[in-house]
Each structure stands twice: as structure tokens, then as C-alpha cells.
Amino acid sequence: MIMMDKVEEEAYTTLGGALLLVCGWQALLLLDECNVLQTRGCVRGWPLLPMDIWVVRYYNLELGWYMHLMLKHSLGLGLQDTRSMDLHHVSTVGLIVFSYFMNFQTLGLLIFTLLNVSSPVLHASKLANTLDWPQAKVALFAAFAGVFALTRVLLFPYMVVRAAMMEPYKNVVRITQIPIFLGIWIMFLVLLLVLAAMQAWWFLAIVKILRHVSAGSEKGLQAEVLKRDFSREVRNVAAKTGAGA
């Protein structure tokens, strides 16, 4: 049974994720020596980093996107998210605000653009799954798994976490000598390490789904996908129809 509400939700989220991705990379190209190839300029001069207007606009776009995801169901729009997804939205908004006011917006922009690469592919694969397009959903999910592994499991710790550890020490004067600077730096590092651990945990779930795909276990695949679906309505329908059994 195809849930049209779910189709509309995933199509909308796919387009929204693609828009954020394009805008983020356009803003990232404006930065000097802060990208996936080099990170020397990401924190140079912190905490007095120049704030590019396009970076500010992108931050507003990200904040608006996650705020509307938090509030959309209260306004009678879209499917209601699970508590875990609500927590994800709240924590993301918190990190956006924290990085903005702590002047980590350049490194924050790099984080967003890197992590956002896999999001449109994920929602496109979920859309194909909702529409029951067998070949498309397998191909898109395999593509998502590859992109996720590259950007979130490999590049994120290597580029972002390493940059957050090393670049402030090399490019921020007396960061280890001023207590408040050191405290902010350590807090930011802890948040990034937690985020990196979450990416690894999520990738294990992706691998589990891929095992069901490679084994041809449609029942196991659907159960695994439904277990990780982010909308309460889909779970309720699955429970009533026995799709998740």
C-alpha cells in the first residue's frame, strides 16, 4: 500500500536537502582555504573571524529548515516525527546556534556541506521504497551507503575532526593559554567526536540493511527499514498491516 502522505513528505525532503546542498557548496566556495581539500583557513583568526554575508544567509537557511521540521506537524503540515527525530532536530538547531555565536561558522559551514551530501540520496531512496520501485530503491540505497561512507565515515573525521584538533592549535594565538578559549575549543571538539561516533553507529545500521538486500531478504529488509523510519504514521500503518512483522 502506497502512502501518498509519505510520498509527498519524502519528495519534499529530497528537494529541500538538495537545495541546502547546492547553497552550502556555493557558500563554501567563497571561503579562503576552508574546503574539503584544505582546512588551514577554517579557524584562522578565531574568534575574530570575518563573517561573509553568504555564510550568514546559509546559516539562516539551515536554521529555518530545521526549525520548520521541528514545528511543521504542530502547524498541521507533514507527518509527525518520532521522538528520536525530534531530538535530532533540536540538537541540530542547538549546534547551529552554538557554532554561529561562538564564531565557528566557517568550520560549521564545512561540516554542513559535507554531511548534507548524503541526505538527498537517502530521501530519494526512501521515496523509491515508498513507491515500491524495486530496482530504484536498491540502487539509490547502495549509492546512499557509498556516499555516507565517504563523506561521513571517512572524510568527516579525517577533514573536520582533524582540522578542529590541529588548526586552532597552529593558527589561533594563545588558545591553550586563555581559559575561555580553551574551554570553547574543548567543548567543540567533544561535540564533533560525539557526532563522528554517531556517524559510525548509523553506518552499522546501513550495513545491516545492505546485508538484507544482498541476501534477498525482502521481509527482513522491510522490517529493518520500518524500524528506522522517522515518522510515527508510517510505523502505525505498518503495525496495523503487519508490514513490519
C-alpha 124/C-alpha 10 separation (Å) is 7
Work out how many domains the chain is built from and give that number.
1
C-alpha 170/C-alpha 154 separation (Å) is 23
* 3-class secondary-structure state, position 231: strand
pLDDT band at 19 (very low <50, low <70, confident <90, very high): very high
C-alpha 214/C-alpha 187 separation (Å) is 41
pLDDT of residue 235: 41
Most trustworthy range by pLDDT among 55-64, 66-75, 87-96, 230-239: 55-64
Helical (H) or strand (E) element with 202: helix 179-215
| Domain boundaries, position 35 | 4-241
The torsion angles phi and psi of 231, rounded to 5 degrees, stand at -115, 135
C-alpha 144/C-alpha 100 separation (Å) is 29
User: Could you report the per-residue pLDDT of 199-245, keeping only the tens digit for each?
Assistant: 888 888 888 878 776 766 555 555 555 555 444 443 443 334 333 33
Residue type at 159?
Answer: M
* For residues 179-204, average pLDDT: 84
Residue corresponding to grid cell 553568504 = 54
Question: Which of residues 52 and 110 earns the better pLDDT score?
Answer: 110
Angle among Cα 201, 203, 205 to the nearest 5 degrees reads 80
Q: Which residues contact 3 (CB under 8 A, 6 or more apart)?
A: 130, 233, 234, 237
